[in-house]
Each structure stands twice: as structure tokens, then as C-alpha cells.
């Protein structure tokens, strides 16, 4: 009952049901806003003084700025009023010490009687004692000053005596400045570094962007291609046999030929041709139809066969002319590769383009093809290079399907370097292409799990290791490739030594994959265990680590050597 009556009243003590405006001057409509602000400021000052300065006699209020100062300091902070000495030469006569002033002017109290065993000295005795102590201190100071002057005079005299004795050992004045001091290597290096640091850097050429570099490279290739076509059309002119690259790189020799201004030319009959009547070959882009191009190629092939027959017939002579003919043949072979290519629109077109030139020229063709279609040159070039990556990956897979030879391995190396250079233009699309190729090999393995390991799979794993990082914990390309290799090691049925050699090559590739990551691959360990068991004489009840190894004799001892060799 009390909670409902008295408790409710206790909770409502001091509470009101309305808001009271206690702002100063808010209810007075006769004063202005400036007067309201002044009244409120005055009230705040009074409130602060009541709280902070209630017992402060020196008025330390921060807002109060009126105080007596001397030398930038308040007089209340100065404790000593005696005159300070400016130097040791000033006289202390007429000055009164701080102790004398304190006792003589402000003396008294019970503390003075504690020095004489309870007897209070008279004022006269205290003043006399202070004066005596002041005089004694002044006398001690003067004696110390006299002793210092005497010691200084004695040291000066000794210095003059020593200086007279060693005066002949010193060089005359100005002798050091006249002589040239030979600086050591450290001083020379320090001075050169200081001069280089103080010197202003000279502005260099602006660093060109990737797009500008690609455009310059494309223009350079177009210029070389126009020169190549012009030389090919003017084949009747036998003025030289150097390639376009050689002439382009030798700038000094070109300038020298221009400055000489002397040139001799002959026509087909051997007669001298006037220089002014000969028209110079201009740099133009020549468009050739496909039919004409095929005809020209057949004509060039016939000429090359004739030149080959001639070179073989004269090969035994061994003269210097043979070497020159070889150089001319290599220069002519360089001219056969164009500098500007159109992007193949299909896989067959790319294969035809690559088969048109020798295998050792494939890297040059692909390099120029990429430079002519750099993404910084046009908007759609990135898509074209992505399509080129797909075609080259398919071409790589087709080349690896055949039995490996020395030439095919070199081609695969060239394609690997080209694919690596194309990877940076569109990484996401490249990853999808390689994953699709891994998916195809996975389906083949699932359809025939016991089939032998093909060279294309080993080549694909080597390609992936060259394009992507294999040490990552998980990678969208390397992880599926590792799974494919592990399944192949576990499922492939070993029937003969050839299949075993292929599996050993595959486990070597897997070992390269895990060399940095130190990852445990149980299929690789089981295969190595089984291969070692095939190299020793084991018992019939001894089991192989997996079903991929043969269990019957003599296949289970396929690597066992029975004959001894000396």
C-alpha cells in the first residue's frame, strides 16, 4: 500500500510537467540581442569568479590580464631582490645581501631563537654577524681572483719560453696556403659526390607508355615491310644483298653512304647507268592479291631449288666466294619473312601461316604478329590476341600428339614462349582455355583409366608449369593439373617397359610441381614404391602398393637384372 501512495510521491519529488526557460533576458522583450549576450557573458564571468577565485588573494584568474611584470616575468614570482653582479670587476661596496635584508627588515618570530640553544639573540648581534659573514665572503672571492691572475701570468711566461725554443720548427706564415695538397681518393670521391648532389638534374626525355612503344614498333615493322616489298619488286637491280634488318641497324654506314654521293649502277647488259636517270624506289605499301602471291611463291621456290643445286655443286671448292654465297642465301631467307602480318581468322589459317615458313622462323613470325596487333594500337586487338592464344594452344596440343622428335620439341618450346607472352594480355580467358584442355584430358582418362600415359599430357603439364605458379596452395589451373597427374599415376596399368618409362617421366614432372611447396602426393610415393619393388627380387606373397603394377611373374620383376656386369 505504501508503494502505491508514498512511493509514487517520492518518485515525483522535484519533477515538473513543463519546460522552464531560464535563459537570461529571454523573457524581456525590451532588450536587444547584443544586450542579452552581454548579460550572459557577465553572468558567466561572475559564476567563474565565485567558484575559482573564492580564496585566491593573488587573483590567478586566466581571464584577468592586469598584473605587474618586470623583464617579462610577474613580480610575484621574483624571490630575490638583491642586485646581481654583471662581472667580477664590479665592487660590492654599498650592496646589502639578501640575508641581511631578510633579518634586518623582516626579522622576528620564533624560528630565530632556535639557533642559539633557546636564547634569543638581539637584533644588533644578528646584524653584526651578517655583516661579518658578508665581508668574509667578499674577501674570499677577491683572494680567489688574485690567485687566478697569478696562475695565468705564470702559464703565459712558460708558454713564451717554450715558443722561443720551438719557433724554428714551425713553417712561416702563408707557406701552407701556397703549397698544393695532393688529395687522396676518399677526398676526391667525397668532393665529387657533393658536387653531384648540388648540381641540378637535367631534364631527360619523358618515359614512353606501353601504347606509344607498341605504336613505334608497329610503324617500324611497316616501314621495314614496305622496304622489303620494294626490294622484292626491284629484284632486277643488283645493287646489294644485305637484309633490311642489317641496313636498318647500321645507321653509321647509311649516313656514310649518303654523304659520299657516289654510286655506280649497271643494267642487265652490263652497261653503266646514269644516276640522275634512275628513279628512286619510294616507300609504299604494296597490296598483292592471293593468286599473284601464290605465283610469286612458286617462282621463288624454283629459284631457290636452282640456287641450292648450284651451291651443292660448288661446295667442294672451299673458296671465299662460297662463304659469301652462303651469307647471301641467309640474307635472302631473311627477306622471305614479312614484317607485317594480318591476324588469322581461323585455326586453319594460322596453321597455314606457320607452315609457310621454316620452323626456326616460327618465333619471328609470331613475335611480329603480336607486335602488329598490340592492344594499345586498336580497340579490338585484345580480342584478336585472345583468339590467337586459343589457336596456339590448340596447335600446341596437336603438335604434342605425334611422337616427339628434336624438331617438334623445339617447336613446342617456341610455342611455350609465345603463349607466355600472350598470357599477360587476357589472363582470365587464358585460364579458361587451359582449363578446357585439362577437362578434355580428364574425360579421356575417365573413359579409359588404364590407358598408357601420352606425351601430350606430359607436354601439357610442362606448359602449365611454365605459364602459372605451381607453388600456390590452390590454383584454378595447377590444382586440376595436379589431380589429373595423380589419377594417371594411380590408374595407368603398367604392361611393359615403355609404359613404365612414361610413368617415370610423369612422376618427374610431378616432383617438379611440388619442389617448392613440399606437398605430399601419395600417388607419386606409391608409384615410386612399386617401381622399386620391380627392381628387386621379391617374394610371391609380397603385394604391390597399387593395382597398376603387374602381380604375375616375370612381369612383376620387370626391372630386375639377373646378369652380373664387371
pLDDT tens digits, the chain, 566 residues: what are they?
788 888 888 888 877 777 778 888 888 888 898 999 999 999 998 887 776 655 655 555 555 556 677 766 777 666 554 444 445 445 555 556 666 666 666 655 444 444 455 577 888 888 889 899 999 999 999 999 999 999 999 999 999 888 888 877 766 565 555 455 677 888 888 888 877 766 665 566 677 787 777 777 777 777 776 776 665 565 544 444 444 444 444 444 444 444 444 344 444 444 444 444 444 433 333 333 333 333 344 434 443 343 333 333 333 333 333 334 444 445 335 547 777 788 888 889 988 888 888 888 888 888 888 888 888 888 888 899 989 999 999 999 999 988 888 998 999 999 999 999 999 888 999 999 999 999 999 999 999 888 888 999 999 999 999 999 888 888 999 999 999 999 999 888 888 888 888 889 999 999 999 988 888 989 899 888 888 888 787 766 667 777 777 766 666 677 777 765 54
CB 116 within 8 Å of CB 59: no
- Do residues 328 and 345 both lie within one domain? no
Residues 559, 498, 539, CA angle at the centre, nearest 5°? Answer: 25
Residue 273, strand partner residues: 265
| 552 and 535 together in one domain | yes
Q: What are phi and psi of 326, to 5 degrees?
A: -65, -40
Quick one: which H or E segment has residue 272?
strand 272-273
Radius of gyration for the alpha carbons in the chain, expressed in angstroms and rounded: 53
Which among 474, 463, 546 is positioned nearest to 517, based on CA atoms? 474
- The confidence score (pLDDT) of residue 471 equals 85
pLDDT score of 415: 92
Cα dihedral 228, 233, 239, 245, rounded to 10, equals 0
Residue 523 included in any domain = yes
Tell me: do 329 and 458 sit in the same domain: no
pLDDT recorded at residue 223:
77
Burial pattern 213-241, b for ≥16 Cβ within 10 A else e, equals ebeebbeebeebbbbbbbbeeeeeeeeee
In a domain, 228, yes or no: yes
Domain membership flag for residue 383: yes
pLDDT at position 239? 45
CB distance 241 to 328 below 8 Å = yes
List the domain range (segments joined by +) for residue 496: 341-557
Joined together, the cell numbers standing for residue 88 give 667580477
Paired with 272 in beta bridges are 266
309/435 same-domain check? no
Residue closest to 376 by CA, chosen among 218, 550, 139:
218
Residue linked to cell 585484345: 382
Domain assignment present for residue 525? The answer is yes
Residue 260: predicted pLDDT: 41
CA atoms within 13 A on the CB side of 375: 13
Contacts of 325-328 with CB under 8 Å at 24 or more apart are: 327/241, 328/241
| Same domain membership, residue 407 and residue 551 | yes
Angle between helices 497-513 and 522-533 (to 10 degrees): 140
Cell numbers at 309, concatenated: 643445286
The span from the CA of 256 to the CA of 271, in Å, is 26
Q: Is residue 261 part of a domain?
A: no
Cell 533576458 appears where?
25
Q: Which residues face 70 on adjacent strands?
A: 73
The per-residue pLDDT for 144 is: 94
Kindly report the pTM of this predicted structure: 0.46
**Residue in 351, 350, 213, 339 with CA at minimum distance from that of residue 283:** 339
Q: Are residues 349 and 393 in the same domain?
A: yes
Q: How crowded is residue 557: how many other Cβ atoms within 10 Å of its Cβ?
A: 16
Helices H / strands E in the chain, number of each: 20, 4
Distance from C-alpha of 564 to C-alpha of 566, rounded to nearest angstrom = 7
Helix (H) or strand (E) holding 526: helix 522-533
Q: Is residue 445 part of a domain?
A: yes
Residue at grid coordinates 631449288: 305
In a domain, 152, yes or no: no
CA 96 to chain centre: 77
Angle at alpha carbon of residue 343, lines to 338 and 348, rounded to 5°: 100
Q: Is residue 16 in some structural domain?
A: no
Distances (CA, A) of 204 to 184, 201, 217, 469: 34, 9, 21, 38
Judgement on whether residues 222 and 290 belong to the same structural domain of the protein: yes
377 and 491 housed in the same domain: yes
Residues 328, 444, single domain; the answer is no
What per-residue confidence (pLDDT) applies to 143? 93
The C-alpha cell 628387386 sits at 536
CB 490 within 8 A of CB 526: yes
The widest CA-to-CA distance across the chain, in whole angstroms, is 149
Total number of domains constituting the chain: 4
**Same domain membership, residue 547 and residue 478:** yes
pLDDT of residue 462: 93
Domain co-membership, 335 together with 414? no
Grid coordinates given for 483: 589431380
Residues 355 and 402 in one domain: yes
Q: Look up cell 519533477; give the residue.
A: 15
Quick one: DSSP state of residue 406?
H
Amino acid at each position: 500500500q505504501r508503494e502505491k501512495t508514498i512511493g509514487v510521491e517520492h518518485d515525483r519529488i522535484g519533477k515538473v510537467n513543463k519546460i522552464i526557460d531560464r535563459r537570461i533576458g529571454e523573457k524581456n522583450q525590451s532588450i536587444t540581442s547584443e544586450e542579452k549576450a552581454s548579460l550572459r557573458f557577465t553572468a558567466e564571468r561572475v559564476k567563474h569568479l565565485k567558484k575559482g577565485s573564492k580564496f585566491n588573494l593573488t587573483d590567478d584568474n586566466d581571464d584577468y590580464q592586469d598584473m605587474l611584470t618586470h623583464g617579462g616575468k610577474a613580480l610575484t614570482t621574483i624571490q630575490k631582490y638583491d642586485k646581481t653582479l654583471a662581472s667580477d670587476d664590479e665592487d660590492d661596496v654599498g650592496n646589502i645581501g639578501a640575508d641581511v635584508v631578510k633579518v634586518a627588515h623582516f626579522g622576528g618570530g620564533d624560528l630565530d631563537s632556535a639557533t642559539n640553544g633557546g636564547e634569543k639573540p638581539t637584533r644588533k648581534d644578528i646584524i653584526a654577524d651578517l655583516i661579518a659573514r658578508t665581508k668574509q665572503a667578499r674577501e674570499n672571492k677577491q683572494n680567489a681572483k688574485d690567485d687566478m691572475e697569478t696562475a695565468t701570468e705564470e702559464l703565459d711566461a712558460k708558454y713564451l719560453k717554450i715558443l722561443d725554443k720551438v719557433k724554428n720548427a714551425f713553417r712561416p706564415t702563408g707557406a701552407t696556403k701556397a703549397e698544393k695538397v695532393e688529395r687522396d681518393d676518399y677526398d676526391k670521391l667525397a668532393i665529387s659526390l657533393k658536387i653531384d648532389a648540388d648540381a641540378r638534374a637535367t631534364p631527360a626525355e619523358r618515359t614512353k607508355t606501353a601504347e606509344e612503344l607498341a605504336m613505334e614498333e608497329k610503324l617500324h615493322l611497316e616501314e621495314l615491310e614496305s622496304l622489303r616489298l620494294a626490294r622484292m619488286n626491284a629484284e632486277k637491280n643488283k645493287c646489294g644483298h644485305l637484309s633490311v634488318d642489317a641496313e636498318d641497324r647500321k645507321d653509321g654506314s647509311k649516313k656514310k653512304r649518303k654523304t659520299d654521293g657516289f654510286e655506280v649502277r649497271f643494267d642487265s647488259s652490263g652497261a653503266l647507268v646514269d644516276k640522275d636517270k634512275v628513279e628512286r624506289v619510294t616507300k609504299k605499301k604494296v597490296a598483292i592479291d592471293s593468286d599473284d602471291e601464290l605465283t610469286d611463291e612458286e617462282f621463288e621456290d624454283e629459284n631457290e631449288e636452282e640456287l641450292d643445286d648450284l651451291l651443292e655443286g660448288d661446295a667442294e671448292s672451299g673458296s671465299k666466294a662460297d662463304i659469301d654465297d652462303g651469307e647471301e642465301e641467309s640474307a635472302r631467307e631473311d627477306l622471305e619473312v614479312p614484317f607485317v602480318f594480318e591476324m588469322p581468322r581461323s585455326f586453319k589459317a594460322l596453321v597455314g601461316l606457320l607452315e609457310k615458313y621454316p620452323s626456326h622462323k616460327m618465333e619471328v613470325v609470331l613475335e611480329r604478329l603480336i607486335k602488329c596487333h598490340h592492344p594499345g594500337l586498336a580497340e579490338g586487338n585484345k580480342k584478336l590476341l585472345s583468339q590467337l592464344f586459343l589457336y596456339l594452344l590448340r596447335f600446341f596440343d596437336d603438335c604434342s600428339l605425334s611422337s616427339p622428335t628434336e624438331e617438334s620439341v623445339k617447336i613446342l618450346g617456341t610455342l611455350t614462349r609465345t603463349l607466355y607472352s600472350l598470357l599477360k594480355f587476357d589472363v582470365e580467358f587464358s585460364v579458361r582455355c587451359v582449363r578446357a584442355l585439362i577437362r578434355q584430358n580428364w574425360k579421356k582418362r575417365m573413359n579409359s583409366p588404364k590407358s598408357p600415359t601420352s606425351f601430350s599430357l606430359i607436354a601439357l603439364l610442362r606448359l602449365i608449369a611454365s605459364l602459372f605458379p605451381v607453388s600456390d596452395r590452390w590454383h584454378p589451373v595447377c590444382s586440376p593439373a595436379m589431380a589429373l597427374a595423380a589419377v594417371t599415376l594411380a590408374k595407368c596399368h603398367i604392361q611393359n617397359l615403355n609404359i613404365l618409362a612414361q610413368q617415370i617421366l610423369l612422376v618427374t614432372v610431378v616432383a617438379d610441381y611440388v619442389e617448392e611447396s613440399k606437398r605430399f602426393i601419395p600417388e607419386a610415393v606409391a608409384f615410386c614404391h612399386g617401381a622399386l619393388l620391380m627392381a628387386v627380387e621379391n617374394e610371391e606373397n609380397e603385394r604391390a602398393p597399387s593395382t597398376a603394377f603387374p602381380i604375375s611373374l616375370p612381369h612383376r620383376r620387370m626391372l630386375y637384372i639377373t646378369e652380373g656386369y664387371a
